[in-house]
Amino acid sequence: MTTGLAPHPFYAPTVPHQAFMIFQCMFTVITPALITGAFAERMRFGPLSAALIGILAGAGCYLGILIKNKFGYDDSFDVVGIHGVGEVIGLLCVGLLASSLVNPGGANGLFFGNPAQLVLQLLAILVTMAYSFIGTYILLKLVDQILGLRLTESDEIQGLDLSQHKEVAYEI
């Protein structure tokens, strides 16, 4: 397969350029996840530690969603309940369970004699939360100034399909 500006001779005649462009954009979207996975690969755990992390992360993220429902804050994609809680659990587990026996290039966690690793992980949690909060706040303020964040009450009552898209999505 060649690279460059010229369309590929095999798929160019059959795949519309816009469809191919959207396909390529998917890789741009998942690039942060790929980078995260590459870093996660560097810190390895034993099988029992990995199972414990999976159980804690699954249960913790589920509880994060339940807490959202209890407090009633607006998080339609469960970003805090899944990604926020999952991040905290994952980083704490690295600080507790990392083992240089499994990954000689890595550091031990608290349970393997290195309390400093847990302190580093706690610092990483605080820095990540502060960065995410401040960045999100700035972006929300910017979007609010340019476009506005809320619809009018009458648009919400009318429904977004009709008020924003000028169409009826469901006719009952």
What single DSSP character describes residue 14?
A: T
pLDDT in tens, 49-81: 878 888 888 899 899 989 988 888 888 788 888
pLDDT at 82: 85
Calculate the CA 102 to chain-centre distance.
27
Q: Pick left, alpha or beta for residue 117 (phi over 0 → left; psi -120 to 50 → alpha; otherwise beta).
A: alpha
Q: Residue 32 has which token pair?
A: 């942060």
Rg (CA), the chain: 23
Instruction: Please state, in angstroms and rounded to a whole number, the distance separating the CA atoms of residues 134 and 138.
Output: 6
Q: 10-residue block means of pLDDT along the chain (172 residues)?
A: 56 67 61 51 66 86 89 84 88 89 85 94 93 94 92 86 83 74
